[in-house]
Amino acid sequence: MSNRRPSRRQCLQLGGAAVAVSLTGCLSQLSQDESGNETDSESASDGEPVADDPETRVYRETIDSVVLVRNDEGSGTGFMIDDSHVVTNAHVVGEASEAEIRFSEGQWTTGEVVGTDRHSDLAAIAVETVPESATPLSFIDGETEVGTDVIAIGNPFNFDGSVTAGIVSGVDRSIPSPTGFTIPDAIQTDAAVNPGNSGGPLMSLDGVVVAVINSGGGDNLGFGVSAPLARRVVPELIETGSYEHSYMGVSFTDVTPDVAEANGLDEPRGLLVDAVVEGGPSEGVLQPSEETTTVDDTEVPVGGDVMLSLGEDDLMTTEDLGNYLALQTRPSDTIAVTVLRDGSEQTVDLTLGTRPDELE
């Protein structure tokens, strides 16, 4: 979010080009011919139109659907997801029940916050007055590949209508949520993401949303809530105002070579249960580690169940577990957990609960 109030409409930043602001104002989007006369950038010297590059094309097709979201706590970005709802981040709307919405051509309206989910950092805002040009954007149907070309559109530092270009740098990331839990299946990008971009779309060059921009983590490091997770959460925010996430009630650690050695395992695999929440879904079902030992000057847990798979999905990393719970289950589902217990594999049934509001 950005706490600065917008003043006037800034220059559009196209195709990753820098926005330059001086005492004389914004750079013109017209080019000059050899004689110094201004010419339309879409026309070549022979009078034939020049085809837009993919980034410019997607920007032009998308920008009318991207909005500024503002309330007393600051401002961010959002985008139309259907004819009357805007998607943004939960941390953009905060505790507000309403938000001011500004469309790309300058129209202002007020929207009602109809649903928030701090666990996924997503929110939905109902908007009554929508320009005809603000058509809904669609989430990608399926997964996003590393290396996919993308653009991030938003309002960084209140430079509205800005765009930066990059690629999908990583998938299946776990990023912090406002509740202290993590957001699984997140998308990482090297497209520049700054305060004010939060809640905006990360677009593929096919013109679909691959993620809802969530945060910037440093130079060339931005993150977004993945389209598969947003597709599950957003419709329920619009319909019911909230979303419930599956919860196991355990903490665990990766089985590294040191942990495998300490526990007499042939190879490092799975996740070692090191604690079970009292009264949680896993109490009496999964056995936690209760002791530690030292391996190469490092204290590691010993004993307890090693989770090998959930359902038919093998568990190699903590991201595997988070993605499975978020994308394939709902609270009250009963799942089969294959564990390594006392040297032998066995399968136990675990009925999932609902994640609490905050990490305890």
Catalytic (active-site) positions: 91, 121, 198
The number of beta carbons lying within 10 Å of the beta carbon of residue 324 is 21
* CA-based nearest residue to 225, from 332, 139, 329: 139
Phi/psi of residue 291, nearest 5 degrees = -135, 165
Which of 53, 27, 31 lies closest to 44, judged by CA? Answer: 31
Give CA–CA dist 261/236, Å, rounded. Answer: 45
**Whole-number Cα distances in Å, 76 to 156, 269, 296, 353:** 8, 41, 48, 33
Beta pairing class for 108-117 and 122-127: antiparallel
Q: DSSP character for 282? A: T
How far, in Å, CA of 212 to CA of 203, rounded? Answer: 9
Tell me how far apart the alpha carbons of residues 295 and 297 are, in angstroms, rounded to a whole number: 5
Q: Letter for the amino acid at 58?
A: V
Q: What is the DSSP-derived secondary structure letter of residue 141? A: S
Q: From residue 62, how far is each of 51, 193, 222, 227 by CA, in Å?
A: 17, 18, 20, 17
Q: How many residues does the chain have?
A: 360
- Cα-flanking dihedrals φ and ψ of residue 157, to 5°? 50, 30
Separation CA 26–CA 16 (nearest Å): 16
Query: Tokens standing for 205?
Result: 């060059």
Which run of H or E residues covers position 260?
helix 257-262
Classify 73 as helix, strand or coil.
coil
